[in-house]
Chain A
Amino acid sequence: MVVSKRGDKVGDVLGEIRYSGEFDYEKVYLIIHNWFKKMQYEVVETYKHKMTGTGTEVELGIKANRKTSEFMRYDLEVELKTWNLVEVEAVIGGKKQKINKGRLLITISFNVVLDYSSKFDKSEWNRRLFNLIRFTLWRKKIIILWTGNLVAEAYGLHTQIKKALNMETAYSAW
């Protein structure tokens, strides 16, 4: 877990998912978006699309945040990169469907942002009070409870993505 120098962000990279083979890109994209919608996150997307000789390269960046209170915000970032993406026809459940084949890398990162509206930045006294709160009084609450809750949520998304890719290890005990 990385704490920013100012101490207003606690976060890290959750993990990477790498997949190579046949998958439904649209299904993966919809699963991610529907999950953020269900969990009431506000989403901002960046998209890059490049045609190459071996297939399509896509870079999709999804930044989502949810204000849990006036003081705290949950930030999640999903980076999706594909290489050699081509469209293929496959028989799924007895029906012919168009899916994709290629390589995929998904990276999920999380951050708990404290004092996102800079209410404690207005004066020196407020800044010292903020330091007292986050370094002493609420330190364990921030790291164990709040960050722990965000990590648990992020692993929910992680498992949903694995299910969308029909990965063998799509399971979470939490």
Chain B
Amino acid sequence: MAERNIAVSGMVVSYEGLFNVFELYKILDDWQKKHNYDKTEKESIEYVKPEGKYIELKLEPARKESDYVKFVISIHIQMEGLKETVVEIDGEKKKMHEGRVTVTFDAWLLTDYEEAWHTKAGIYFLRLIVDKYFYKIYTDKFLSTLRGEVSELSTQIKSFLNLYKY
């Protein structure tokens, strides 16, 4: 079985106010494509309720860094109480939503995702030794890269949401 090294756990961005749902999703999708992540949209939920729309998305983009290491980011988005409004920005009328959005990020390194080093107990033990003493420097470097990417994505989302505050 592949092993996980947690890079990011429970990083949350939450916002309440005016924003554009389509543009927010576009930012996430474009970011995944730009950084060569394989798109994985596990769940896409949209409920129209009397108190406002409820949207939930579970994305799990992944990128193979090498034959041994894979980056996986889990993005869980919940939008509640969304009500459609039309706002005039720079003389142009735009469709926006007013509501609450919470974006939760988790990210991990998946090592030996092809399970090539799990065939026998001896080989698995050898892998543990190599991982712990020889490959640690590379694992740390990969973790740092992954954390940087998740941080970049969350900053982009925060900047986008803050645009509509003023």
Q: Which of B4-31 contact A (CB under 8 A)?
A: 21-22, 25-26, 29-30
| CB pair B44 A169 closer than 8 Å | yes
Q: Which residue of B lies closest to A103 (CB)?
A: B47
| CB pair B32 A173 closer than 8 Å | yes
Q: Which residue of B lies closest to A167 (CB)?
A: B46
Query: Closest CB-CB distance, A23 to chain B, in whole Å?
Result: 9
| CB pair A21 B33 closer than 8 Å | no
Q: Which of B44, B48, B57 contacts A22 (CB 8 A)?
A: B48
Q: Number of contacting residues on A, CB 8 A?
A: 23
Report Cα–Cα, A67/B48, bound state, in Å: 40
Task: Report if A151 contacts B (CB, 8 A).
Answer: yes
Task: Report if A85 contacts B (CB, 8 A).
Answer: no
Q: Which residue of A lies closest to B95 (CB)?
A: A168
Task: Report if A158 contacts B (CB, 8 A).
Answer: yes
| CB pair A15 B25 closer than 8 Å | no
Interface centre among B30, B33, B39, B49 (most CB of A within 10 A): B39
Query: Closest CB-CB distance, A4 to chain B, in whole Å?
Result: 15
Report Cα–Cα, A20/B53, bound state, in Å: 10
Q: Which of B25, B46, B53 contacts A18 (CB 8 A)?
A: B46
Q: Which A residues have a C-beta under 8 Å from some C-beta of B?
A: 14-22, 148, 151, 155, 158, 162, 165, 167-174
The 6 A-B pairs at the shortest CB distance, nearest first, are namely A21-B48, A20-B47, A168-B21, A173-B33, A173-B29, A169-B25
